[in-house]
Amino acid sequence: MSIQFPRFLAAALTGALLVSAGAAQAQHKSAPKPAAPAAPAAPSAPAAPAAPPQAAQQQAPQGPIKADLVAVQPDWTKVCGADPQSKKEVCYTTRDFGAQADQPLLALAVYDPKGDDTKVIRLLLPPGLMLRPGFRFAVDKGALEAGEFEICFPNGCFALAKIKASVVDSMKKAEKMTIIVKNQYNNEVTFLLPLAGFGKSFDGPPVDPKVLEEQQKKLQEELQKKAEEERKKLEAQKPAAPAGK
């Protein structure tokens, strides 16, 4: 079965959306939103000596991190189509999540090959993760199950787990899904994803491809607009250059 992930979230995962930073923002909602990096400001005094590597490591976040995510889109999206290899109909129900509604951080998709009891959970996760442990997940307070990473790109990593239909049935009635990974500092990171509305979309009719295209286009435009607003705010906060220089 050829599993694809026709979402545009990977393009929105540029910048500093590493797991350590993203999770920290989820814990501290008052922290500034990530934006396009500004050019480094010239120091007004002689720069201090660079910190040794050991000191830099000590500044890394310590201990487990827990992040309650929120949905980016108003609702789940269900899309159906014919698998090019098996020729069978495959539907997937997907949604993007982030630390805030305008900060996409990861995406979840549940694939439903018709007539097959084996379903597929696929994640699009931010970069900066340890790949060898894979990921673990649980539905509400259910037992933890394991999945593995497939492939990584500069903007994100794909991970997959095969599950039974009974797991999907539990997701339909559940409040949340727990996703556990390890970041680049070997800290355990736990993402909590709300599952409200999943069952209705999974069992409901698929979205019209044209409507889906319009939804994605609108969301992408909104994200680009917010990124531009943040860039302008950063520029406005830059100190004015001294006169005569």
Residue with more model confidence, 182 or 43 = 182
Using CA atoms, how far apart are residues 176 and 179, in angstroms rounded to an integer? Answer: 10
High-pLDDT (> 70) share of the chain, %: 72
Res. 149 pLDDT band, cuts 50 70 90: very high
Span of 54-68, 127-141, 219-233 with lowest mean pLDDT: 54-68
| Residue 242 confidence (pLDDT) | 65
**Residue tagged 């994640």 (tokens):** 123
For 69-111, how does the pLDDT look when each residue is reduced to its tens digit (9 = 90+)?
999 988 999 999 888 887 889 999 999 999 988 788 999 999 9
9-29+61-236 topology per CATH: Immunoglobulin-like (2.60.40)
Averaged pLDDT score across all residues of the chain = 77
Question: For residue 23, is pLDDT > 90?
Answer: no
State pTM to two decimals. 0.67
| Residue 215 confidence (pLDDT) | 72
| Residue 224 confidence (pLDDT) | 82
How far from 121 is each of 9, 162, 170, 243, CA to CA, in Å? 17, 6, 13, 59
Residue with more model confidence, 140 or 210 = 140
Average pLDDT over residues 156-173: 96
| Residue 212 confidence (pLDDT) | 73
Residue 181 contacts residue 35 (beta carbons within 8 Å): no
High-pLDDT (> 90) share of the chain, %: 47
Average pLDDT over residues 31-42: 33
CA nearest neighbour of 31 among 20, 44, 42, 46: 20
Question: For residue 13, is pLDDT > 90?
Answer: no
CA nearest neighbour of 13 among 89, 75, 99: 99
The three-class DSSP label of residue 30 is: coil
Res. 241 pLDDT band, cuts 50 70 90: low
Q: Can you give the residue ranges of every domain in the chain?
A: 9-29+61-236
| Residue 225 confidence (pLDDT) | 84
